[in-house]
Structure formats: structure tokens, C-alpha cells
Amino acid sequence: MTDDVPEGPADATSPRQRRRHQSADDVRSARRHVTLWCLSMLLGVLVVSSLIGENGYLATLRARKEERGLQAGLARVRVENLHLQEEAARLREDPSALEEAARRDLGFIRPGETLVIVRDTRPAPPSRR
């Protein structure tokens, strides 16, 4: 008894029969084809993951951009801190600077001085007739 499938139309009453490979070379070729297909899919998944994954290339670019922005912000804050330290030292050492800051920020005046406040006024909108 052989395992070969008879050629020709299958009997309508018999269950569907599987096609069997004719030789070992056909089996090896089919396995290679399936293995190549699986490896190709795996490679595709790895490439997509390396580009857009959580730790992928695009995420790395975003993190680098954010780092540059934070570094620039840190530099601005350091410069501002330096200016504030210089102003604090000047206010501690120079009484006239302290008086100037009190007049400017708190609106202090010396006895005998008159405070004049000038406000910008907006022109009245043109009336409609």
C-alpha cells in the first residue's frame, strides 16, 4: 500500500485529502520557504520596533530635543540667578541702591517730596452716528 494520492478529481463523497510532497527536496524547500517567511516577519517587527518603539530611534530624537531645551532653560536660569546675586550684593552694600529699589518697587518718597503718578489714557473710541 502506498501513501501516494491518486491523481484526478477527488470523490465527492470522500473527505478532502491533503496534498503530500513528492520528495524530500520538496519538503526541505517548503521548510526553507516557511523559515524565510518567519525570519522576514521577525526582521520587519524588529525594524518597526527599533524605529517607533518605546526606546526606538524616534523616541531617542525626541529625548535629545527635550534635553537641548532643558539645557537652554538651565542656562537662562543660571544667568538670571547670577544677576539676582549681583543685585542682592549691591543692595546689601550700597545704601543708595537700597533707597532706589524701595522708591521704585514700594513707591516710597522722602519727606517734602510730591508723588506724581502719570497714567497713559486710551483715546475714546469714535462715536457711531
Per-residue pLDDT of the chain (129 residues; tens, 9 = 90+): 455 555 555 555 666 766 664 688 888 888 999 999 999 999 999 988 888 888 889 889 999 999 999 999 999 999 999 999 999 999 999 999 988 888 888 878 888 888 787 888 888 788 776
Cell readout for 12 is: 465527492
Contact 49/43 with Cβ under 8 angstroms? no
90 Cβ neighbours under 8 A, 6+ residues apart: 97
Domain boundaries, the chain: 21-52, 62-110
Q: Helix, strand or coil for residue 4?
A: coil
Contact 17/10 with Cβ under 8 angstroms? yes
Q: Helix, strand or coil for residue 46?
A: helix
pLDDT of residue 13: 60
d(CA 91, CA 9): 105
Residue 90: count of CB within 10 angstroms of its CB:
14
